[in-house]
């Protein structure tokens, strides 16, 4: 709506196996300690068709700030207990499905399911310190707070807008920062858990 071509998890899924594998590889290479992390050339190739990146930078804060010093960054912080409830209402079921029948078996014969499962298991292991969502949730909540502080510390002066989801987040906050006119259309808001469930049902139906 603001004229950008955004990239977030929806594009990862709909672009299929190559993007599932790229995202999983990028996370694994950074956090496993056994492979060379992605450099600017790898990120440029992966994200070449997009000029706004959502969600993905939370795993690569240092890289995005270093590799794209002229970019503007928007940090949306939220109450960590509300964040936990959001995860439980959305990705928890996906992560459980990836480790359960039939996906844990169909991944061996379906390339899309294989990439999908590998990415989400890597998500879970990294975010929750190889302890699963329940066992690693408190550490993940501390990481979320620390990551916000890291972004504010490292981003170039004047190039980061910090908002809170509970305090208000919409056109009035982001458009002046991005030097964009405020659209006449209201800022899109919806029932995120319901929308996620519908999208997840669609993934299952398509694959």
pLDDT digits (tens, 9 = 90+) for 31-56: 998 899 999 999 999 999 999 999 99
Say which residue the tokens 């409830």 belong to: 85
Task: Give Cα 28 to chain centroid, integer Å.
Answer: 15
Report residue 160: phi and psi, to 5°. Answer: -130, 130
Cβ-contact 128, 139 below 8 angstroms: yes
User: What's 164's domain CATH number?
Assistant: 3.40.50.300
Q: Where are the alpha helices (DSSP H) in 72-191?
A: 80-89, 91-98, 103-106, 111-127, 132-154, 171-178
| 172 found inside a domain | yes
Q: Is 162 helix (H, G, I), strand (E, B) or coil?
A: strand
Question: Where in the sequence is the domain holding 136, given as residue range(s)?
Answer: 6-198
Note the pLDDT of residue 178. Answer: 97
| Strand stretches in 114-203, DSSP E | 160-164
Residue 207 belongs to some domain of the structure: no
Q: Is the pLDDT of residue 198 over 90?
A: no
Specify if 55 maps to a domain. yes
Count of beta carbons in the 10 Å neighbourhood of residue 129: 15
Give dist(CA 54, CA 17) in Å, integer.
19
Whole-model pTM: value is 0.89
Helices first, then strands: H and E counts in the chain: 11, 4
Mapping DSSP to helix (H, G, I), strand (E, B) and coil, where does residue 77 land? Answer: strand
In this structure, are strands 160-164 and 73-77 parallel, antiparallel, or unpaired? parallel
Q: Is 72 helix (H, G, I), strand (E, B) or coil?
A: coil
Residue 153 lies in a domain: yes
Sign of CA dihedral 75, 70, 43, 19: positive
Is residue 137 situated within a structural domain? yes
Element (H, E) at 42: helix 40-46
- pLDDT (tens digit, 9 = 90+) per residue, 65-95? 999 999 999 999 999 999 999 999 989 999 9
Answer yes or no: is 205 within a domain: no
Tell me which residue has tokens 């790229």.
Answer: 22
The candidate with the shortest Cα–Cα distance to 166, out of 58, 79, 73, is 79
Query: Does 96 reside within a domain?
Result: yes
Domain count, the chain: 1
CA distance 47 to 19: 10
- What confidence tens digit (pLDDT) does each residue in 101-153 have? 999 999 999 999 999 999 999 999 999 999 999 999 999 999 999 999 999 99
Residue 206 domain flag: no
Q: What pLDDT does residue 173 have? A: 94
The burial class, CB within 10 Å (0-12 / 13-18 / 19+), for 27 is buried
Under the banding of pLDDT at 50, 70 and 90, the label for residue 169 is confident
């Amino acid at each position: 709506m603001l004229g950008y071509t955004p990239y977030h998890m929806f594009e990862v899924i709909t672009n299929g196996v190559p993007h599932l594998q790229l995202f999983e590889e990028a996370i694994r290479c950074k956090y496993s300690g056994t492979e060379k992390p992605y450099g600017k050339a790898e990120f440029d190739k992966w994200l070449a068709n997009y000029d706004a990146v959502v969600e993905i930078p939370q795993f690569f804060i240092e890289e995005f700030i270093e590799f794209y010093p002229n970019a503007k960054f928007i940090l949306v912080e939220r109450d960590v207990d509300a964040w936990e409830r959001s995860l439980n209402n959305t990705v928890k079921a996906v992560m459980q499905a990836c480790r359960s029948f039939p996906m844990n078996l169909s991944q061996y014969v379906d390339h899309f399911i294989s990439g999908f499962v590998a990415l989400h298991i890597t998500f879970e292991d990294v975010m929750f310190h190889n302890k699963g969502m329940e066992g690693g949730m408190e550490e993940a909540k501390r990481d979320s707070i620390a990551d916000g502080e890291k972004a504010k510390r490292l981003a170039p002066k004047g190039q980061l807008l910090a908002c809170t989801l509970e305090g208000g987040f919409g056109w009035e906050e982001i458009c002046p920062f991005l030097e964009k006119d405020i659209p006449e259309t209201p800022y899109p808001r919806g029932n995120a858990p319901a929308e996620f469930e519908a999208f997840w049902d669609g993934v299952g139906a398509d694959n």
